[in-house]
Structure 1
Amino acid sequence: MKNKPTALLFLLLLQSLYLSAQPAVQLRAQAPAPFLPKLYLHIDREIYFPGDSIWFSAYYLNGQNLAPLTGLGKLYTDLIAPDGTVISHKVWALRNGKGKGKIELPSDLNNGHYMLRSTCGALFHLGEEFCTYRPLEISTLTFNREKTTVREKNTQIALDLLPEGGHLLAGIENLIAIKALTEDGLGVKVRGRIVDGNGKEVATFHSSYKGLGHFHFVPEAGETYRIEVDGFPGLHVAMPAIETQKLKLFMVSEGPEDLLLRVQTVAPLQNQKLHFAILHRGNILFHQSFQLKSPSVDLRIEKAALSAGIHRFLILDEFFRPLSERLYFNKDLDINEIEINTDRTTYSCRKPVELSLTDPEGKQSGFSRLSLSVVNKNAMTEAGPGENILTALLLGTELKGYLEGPADFFNDEAGLTSSEKLDLLMLTQGWRSYRWADPDVINDTIQNRDNGICLTGQLQNPLTKWSVPNISINAKIFNNIHYIELNGISDEEGRFMFSHLDICDTASVLINTFTRKRRKNVLISLDPLFPETISVSRAYHPGKSFDAAKHIALRQQQYFNEKELTDYLLATGSLYIDEVQIVKKAPSDDGPYGTLNGSILSLKVTEKDHKYPSLLTYLQGRVSGLQVYGDMIVIRDKSGLNYTTPLFLLDETRILDHNAVIYIPMSDIDKVEVSMDPRDFAISGADATGGIIAVYTKKGASLGPSDYIPGLASKIIAGYSTCGEFYSPRYTPNNLDNPQPDHRLTLYWDPDLLTEKGKAEASFFSSDDAGNYLIQVEGITGTGKICLGTAAFKVYNLPKEQ
């Protein structure tokens, strides 16, 4: 990222009064919160089939310098269907600016354009405007006799006219941008005209790229105009109001070295004090106050002083209220280009592929954090990746609404340069991260929302429902991965919070309260761990129109691949099932006092047993040789001479600290099993030689209002989602001729590739599918420089020994 000093910015006001530049401190006091994080998801490919997995790597970055954020955060992902339904909602961990995950696609999905939406804890409460979006295409194999959905000529459209600078001034030439979209939010070609009150054509317009275009028009004060669009005779398009008392800021010209902007009014504003400012990613690069003494003032800006990406040129009044703005995209991109080399350019099937990566920036800064995907080119859109980390961070996270093919805006075409495309986007797409008012709200949102998992709740008197302040609280959180014990005190409203928790998968929570007089007559209420998903509006809705014929080659390939796999399974007598993830094994129902093999004492907890204050008091007298001393428990061994400390299992999971178990409310326990033989539970280890006490909770149990126990609360919570490692087979001479088909569309995926001293390596094997394969590397350096790299290779259907 280039650091552009403000002193390099040369501002020339072409009027007799010389105005010196002022520091940005004064304006910053009135500006929006300077920090909004940015989020980007790199996915393994863009076209999927029902039942596939979406693999992703998440980058959580400082919004100003794009450096990875430190600490713990939350990543929310939503898979959105074409009709706006949220199919999958998950929460993942963001650790030190990085996250990863896998989203399983249901097997019954239909063809269509889907959307993978993501946001973080810091931005969640700001709504869908601050979410990021990745379009996906999901295709099924039912391509025979399938009707292809094609947009009809007279599809309903929406057309907006957007004057440059936000105002249409009377009596001068105005640049007006147009934006024409279908109901699906996709650009559509239009052509039309503006007609005055006498029916005379006074201007014409047409779209030039993705429904975007612009034209010049000189409106007259007091005149009425209507808009006609070819092919849409009944379309109503609002004409912008014609202003006579306002000012506007617009671009006059762009040269190789500088930009010329103009502040224009129809009539002088009586020496009103104004401010000119330049903002970039929330940073105020420049600020200067001046008085407008003539109808127009020109401003010239050196492009060398600007950073890469979107800049916001602003005119504000003396109270720092925005009057007019112009967005500008500076294409002076500073990219860390990752060089990718393969050991060969062509391979046969099931052969090793060796990659070496060279990271120029990593040689200086030490390392870069990357993610790597290798996919069949048929599984990408025809134009290549529709989005990458460059387009997402410089466009998608800055502008409002759904962007159609953002990567296309960086490619030159015949008759239309990339700079011209980007300027059309600046004229038509609203600024997203700009919130001039309420900086305190944003600061509170950023600082207090993204601090890991927060366990919150309230203490109340069970009779009066009044809050109970200043009460000591003990919380235990445990599963087969974690055991966490926390202590705190309720505030004046009886509320408590334990933050910065890093909990994965399902866990049990047990909360105790202790008053000064050791009374526990307190009702504990626990809040939901995560908020509900954000609603989906039309502005961010994926397109519904789906051309079923455009993926015909990929679909045919997938059809024959699945047929080959089915034939193999039938021939070998194998049963093929989808991936199964076992969360926990439910205990068998053995009846009130059943046993597994005669050596286990099984105790079924009934409603009359709920009166016992703890598990220890319940077990005392029921188990021969069991003794309780305070919170300590021992069992006499088989010899009858020694006492040993037993191992506790909770739902067949080892518990390191028995305190996490003994205070579980009896109403949450289904049964307890005790044995001196660890083989009864298929348990080994030195900690199991002293006997085993296995506690089984009720399935899905947690304390409800009717299960009120003074001073106690328990709950089963679902923490961060987790994902396994991407499976990539390794072929050896022993398994090279394995008849089981290998038809991976994604050959390799690594979400956590780290370069060391500018170097990294990766290796994998080609599959049984011949074709062209695309290697994509994306990432960020430790200092916030964007990393990109691509390469390709071919696989031929040659004998495996070649």
Structure 2
Amino acid sequence: MNLNRSLSVKSFLRLVLCAFLFFTTFSRAQEQIAQEAFAEKVYLQLDKSVYQKGETLWFKVIVTQAKDHQPSPLSKTLHVELIDANDKIIDSKQIPLEQGVGSNSFELPYYYLAGAYQLRGYTEWNRNFKDAFTFKTQIQILEDKASQNTEVFKILNAGTAVAGNQLEVLIKPEFIDSTAGTTVDVHFEVAGNTKTYPVAKNEAGDFVFKKDIPQDAQWGELAVETPNGARHTEFYNLAKPNIDLQFFPEGGNFVAGITNLVGFKALDHTGKGVLVEGEVVDESGVVIGKFRSNSLGMGQLFLIPKKATKYQARLTKTDALYESKATTFFDLPEVSDQGTLLNVKLLRDKLLLSITSTEFINDSIAIQVASRGISNGKIYQKLNNGKLTLPVDKSNLPAGIIVFTLFDVNDKPLVERLYYNDLETQLLDLNISTDKLSYRSGEEVSAQLNITNFSKETALPTVSAVVVDSLFSAAQMGKSIQTYMLLSSELKGTIENATSYFDKSNTHRQRDLDALMLTQGYRNYKFISELNDDFDFEPELGLYVKGDVAALLAENKKKENVEVSLMIFGEQQSFYEQQTDSLGRFYFPLPPFTGNRLRAVLQTKNDAGRQRDYTLNLNKFERPEVHFKTQDKVNTTLASNAEFSDKIAKNPTDSFFDFDSSVNQLDEVVLDTYEMTPQRKKVQDLYGKPDVIFDGEEIRDKQESWSFGLFSVLRAAFGNEITFLPVTDSTGTYLKPRIQAGDETLILVDGITVRNYEYQLLQNLSTADIKSVEIIKETSSNYQDLFREANPFSDFNTVPAWGSILAIYTYSGNGIFTAYKSKGILKTTIPVYATSKEFYVPKYQNRENSTATNQLETTLYWNPDIIVDDAGTTHFSFYTNDLPGTKTILIEALSPSGKIGYSRYEYTVLEK
């Protein structure tokens, strides 16, 4: 059977794009489509933003068309990954999408280090748009006691620990290792350099680390490691306090002789907005305007600049931390002698577009109105003495960011202005209520949801509900489906306190939104690329196995019409066959298997059905590069955590004991270097230097005519350093290396962990592709984390604290799958969809059967698939736990037409 699946995918893609063009109608002929209009928006709703070790992270995924927020019919698979502060993907899942919706969870084991983590989600299709539509959010994982007092690091000179000064830190390693001993290693990375320092207890019994901070320092990474391998890392901003003040003329032009609206934004050294006041002066020092920002550092002012005049701004009031900036002058943009301005302002239910030009007097112009890369057409008008005022009904435009672009008669763009159209009629109106406003611990809460403007929808929306202690609510992070879909997904960079722009109690939110559009939206709008229908990545239509077949001794010569069989070993065996296409490709679409990974065997045959030794190549899924910004890793302790800690901690820890500022500190340890590659550096930084190195040439010199791969050569020629034990398991029979008796040897290929279900691939590695083989003996540095990654489905109750590592480096440099080339048969494992589990809702009528964990759980209710009736109404119930305080109910929804719904409701649990 010749299934040319790749061509089928391309045909499907062409149909989708044609439908996209056909159904996107404008008031005039099609004017503009940006490449990004074809993207998918990915949103992950989390049950909360702060977790304790041992908890479950629950999430729901929603994938929409970027152009209209309707559920995307394109991708059927979403990739979700959990990334630690070392930029390492520590867990990942494939989530099946049904009408753009799915849900699942991540376990957060006790062995995870406390600190910041990144959760990201993306579709393969969205990789056509680089990183623009990858969803990213940060979470915090606390120690299991969730106590603010269990600080492993305490900065003793927090007010002065900046570049050019000294860092002084009190370290409490007993919080990560109760048997830490009297000496620990401190790893300090700053300005791109990492050094290791052994620190011993001083006379007062304290670990105190002191180190000068370089003048050019921005961010610092501090890690403590105990002799048992326990490690804790935190990130700090070490830059000197500073303010950067920038000015953004409306539309980009700062024109002499006419009134200009100018936005401005003040950021501190951490990248956050800071409230400022100041004034603008000309070259003679004459004040021509004053300004004051909002709490996020943004604002606007009107100026009438003169020709050939330079303008600067100075601060007159800000936080005392930045007093030195009062003498600093900040340049405004250069004044243009002639130009055109486009001003947009709200007047009741109308948007008033005002054009003023000193270069076009009575000319014809066109105003294009676009949203999310789709033009809604152009409005053609004529200037009268260089001016034009035009009202536009805002209700006729989409909700969210609108782009107004002014063109001259030759269709040349003159000026562009972003405006946020705050239109509640295009949002779902969600109303939450409970049967009472306050409850006793363990009492049942009955909640009702009503979507009041749902009647015009043709199908039911997707609705989710989460109830969580307000302290840990995801809303605390300023993120929701509303802020993401309408703001964050369309503007580059972090939008600080995004929920404030949608808070109806914020009487200045329209002004703040406009300031955001004038400043952050000035250069950071995502829908800007010219249309190009040549996409590098195809949408994933489900699970699949694909690759190609080549001649054995000529890999560039692809083989057409070769029979390829695929056998998958799950609960039941599955068998598939097909022929390669004209380019030697095969593509096996698979059912929606769930679980972990499944063992699979591929084999090539000739026309007579006999095995042929062709080269089988599998297309390996390439994960996007990790972008976890240092500022997002900075330790952010909850300001109001103390009260919660008192309630949740079963064994309160003592506060920091007194310390002696004198330090008993050993000399700096500087490791010798050898010829370094990125892969070797990664391994050395994580696990230490190699004790034994076998060069690839040396290995090939030892190869005999009867050798059958790398392991056979190592076993015969270097048996004094490494032995091999035969192992038989569900993946087959293979050789497992062991460096030293009594330890567990783990394997890395090009710095990439080889998992236990991949070991059977190792013995056939060709020596021709080997650069070196290196042995690290008895290492404890990060060994436990590596063990868990290499054995993902094992019981982690007894994880060894130390062991050996066999590090293999290949010339290809991309791990085991690019080094391994099969001959007519390929044994492998394939990823499948993650198995989902249900959220357990405890009932507290029977108190003796309720575990302490459940009673202290901060997520009280999670339901990613709430069903509403035809009237948009539903009821749900849950029980409070033993933690008094304010609880938050969050409802997020999306209708089939692309309407977004978000609502937040709070109730109180009383003290016992």
Q: Distance in 2 between matches of 1:404 and 1:742?
A: 34
Who is 2:347 aligned against?
A: 255
Who is 1:777 aligned against?
A: 891
Q: Which moved more, 1:144-153 or 1:242-251?
A: 144-153
User: Is the aligned partner of 1:124 residue 2:238?
Assistant: no
Deviation at 1:241, TM superposition (A): 3.0
1:64 to 67, 79, 86: 67
Deviation at 1:745, TM superposition (A): 0.6
Who is 2:12 aligned against?
A: none
Q: Which moved more, 1:60-69 or 1:71-80?
A: 71-80
Deviation at 1:195, TM superposition (A): 3.5
The residue identity in structure 1 corresponding to 2:632 is P
Deviation at 1:235, TM superposition (A): 6.0
Deviation at 1:109, TM superposition (A): 6.3
Q: Which moved more, 1:495-504 or 1:372-381?
A: 495-504
Cα distance change on mapping 1:519 and 1:102 into 2, 3 Å = closer
CA contact (8 A) 2:432 2:447 kept: yes
Who is 1:284 aligned against?
A: 375
The residue identity in structure 2 corresponding to 1:409 is Y
CA contact (8 A) 2:886 2:909 kept: yes
Matches of residues 366-381 of structure 1 in structure 2 within 5 Å?
366-380=459-473
Cα distance change on mapping 1:88 and 1:190 into 2, 3 Å = farther
Can you list the C-alpha shifts for 1:478-502, whole angstroms capped at 9, x where unaligned? 3536755444443444333345764
Matches of residues 504-583 of structure 1 in structure 2 within 5 Å?
504=594, 505-516=596-607, 520-536=612-628, 541-542=631-632, 544=634, 546-547=636-637, 549-560=639-650
1:753 to 838, 858, 866: 866
Who is 1:594 aligned against?
A: none
Q: Distance in 2 between matches of 1:41 and 1:306?
A: 27
CA contact (8 A) 2:76 2:96 kept: yes
CA contact (8 A) 1:262 1:297 kept: yes
CA contact (8 A) 2:260 2:341 kept: no
Who is 1:646 aligned against?
A: none
Cα distance change on mapping 1:323 and 1:267 into 2, 3 Å = closer
User: Is the aligned partner of 1:435 residue 2:549?
Assistant: no
Cα distance change on mapping 1:349 and 1:526 into 2, 3 Å = same
1:143 to 143, 148, 152: 148
CA contact (8 A) 2:245 2:265 kept: yes
Deviation at 1:548, TM superposition (A): 5.2
Who is 1:176 aligned against?
A: 262
User: Is the aligned partner of 1:25 residue 2:13?
Assistant: no
Cα distance change on mapping 1:372 and 1:125 into 2, 3 Å = same
Who is 1:701 aligned against?
A: 760
Who is 1:312 aligned against?
A: 403
| SS in structure 2 at match of 1:700 | helix
Q: Distance in 1 between matches of 2:239 and 2:708?
A: 70
CA contact (8 A) 1:524 1:712 kept: yes
Can you list the C-alpha shifts for 1:426-477, whole angstroms capped at 9, x where unaligned? 1112253313414324xx368x234334533232222122222323343435
Q: Which moved more, 1:787-796 or 1:460-469?
A: 787-796
2:95 to 78, 92, 97: 92
Deviation at 1:170, TM superposition (A): 2.2
Q: Which moved more, 1:240-249 or 1:710-719?
A: 240-249
CA contact (8 A) 2:30 2:377 kept: no
Q: Distance in 1 between matches of 2:116 and 2:327?
A: 29
Can you list the C-alpha shifts for 1:11-68, whole angstroms capped at 9, x where unaligned? xxxxxxxxxx99432414x654643322222111222234433211111122233222
The residue identity in structure 1 corresponding to 2:468 is V
Matches of residues 256-655 of structure 1 in structure 2 within 5 Å?
256-268=348-360, 271=363, 274-290=365-381, 294-317=385-408, 322-334=413-425, 335-360=427-452, 365-380=458-473, 386-411=478-503, 417-430=508-521, 431-441=524-534, 444=535, 448-476=538-566, 478-480=568-570, 484-498=574-588, 502-504=592-594, 505-516=596-607, 520-536=612-628, 541-542=631-632, 544=634, 546-547=636-637, 549-560=639-650
The residue identity in structure 1 corresponding to 2:283 is G
| SS in structure 2 at match of 1:768 | coil
Cα distance change on mapping 1:77 and 1:234 into 2, 3 Å = farther
1:208 to 284, 294, 302: 294
CA contact (8 A) 1:700 1:716 kept: no
The residue identity in structure 2 corresponding to 1:396 is S
Can you list the C-alpha shifts for 1:503-552, whole angstroms capped at 9, x where unaligned? 432112322223446562310111213424443457xx537363554322
CA contact (8 A) 1:177 1:215 kept: yes
Who is 2:179 aligned against?
A: none
| SS in structure 2 at match of 1:535 | coil
Q: Distance in 2 between matches of 1:390 and 1:359?
A: 16
TM-score with structure 1 length normalisation?
0.71
Q: Which runs of 5 or more structure 1 residues have no equivalent in the other structure?
A: 1-20, 564-606, 612-649, 653-663, 671-696
CA contact (8 A) 1:184 1:544 kept: no
Cα distance change on mapping 1:265 and 1:108 into 2, 3 Å = farther
CA contact (8 A) 1:40 1:392 kept: yes
Cα distance change on mapping 1:261 and 1:698 into 2, 3 Å = closer
CA contact (8 A) 2:254 2:336 kept: yes
The residue identity in structure 1 corresponding to 2:823 is P
Deviation at 1:165, TM superposition (A): 0.5
Deviation at 1:373, TM superposition (A): 0.8
Deviation at 1:407, TM superposition (A): 0.8
The residue identity in structure 2 corresponding to 1:754 is I
User: Is the aligned partner of 1:243 residue 2:336?
Assistant: yes
CA contact (8 A) 1:458 1:467 kept: no
Cα distance change on mapping 1:698 and 1:764 into 2, 3 Å = closer
CA contact (8 A) 2:116 2:634 kept: yes
Q: Distance in 1 between matches of 2:880 and 2:333?
A: 58
Who is 1:35 aligned against?
A: 38
CA contact (8 A) 2:39 2:129 kept: no
Deviation at 1:304, TM superposition (A): 2.9
The residue identity in structure 1 corresponding to 2:472 is A
| SS in structure 2 at match of 1:287 | strand
Cα distance change on mapping 1:544 and 1:482 into 2, 3 Å = farther
Deviation at 1:242, TM superposition (A): 2.5
Identity rate, percent: 24
Cα distance change on mapping 1:413 and 1:362 into 2, 3 Å = closer
Q: Which moved more, 1:742-751 or 1:334-343?
A: 334-343
Cα distance change on mapping 1:320 and 1:101 into 2, 3 Å = farther
User: Is the aligned partner of 1:794 residue 2:887?
Assistant: no
CA contact (8 A) 1:72 1:500 kept: no
CA contact (8 A) 1:76 1:90 kept: yes
The residue identity in structure 1 corresponding to 2:375 is I
1:725 to 830, 834, 838: 838
Cα distance change on mapping 1:37 and 1:322 into 2, 3 Å = farther
| SS in structure 2 at match of 1:404 | coil
| SS in structure 2 at match of 1:467 | strand
Deviation at 1:741, TM superposition (A): 6.9
| SS in structure 2 at match of 1:744 | coil
Matches of residues 647-666 of structure 1 in structure 2 within 5 Å?
none
Can you list the C-alpha shifts for 1:197-226, whole angstroms capped at 9, x where unaligned? 334443333322301111222223322334
The residue identity in structure 1 corresponding to 2:892 is E
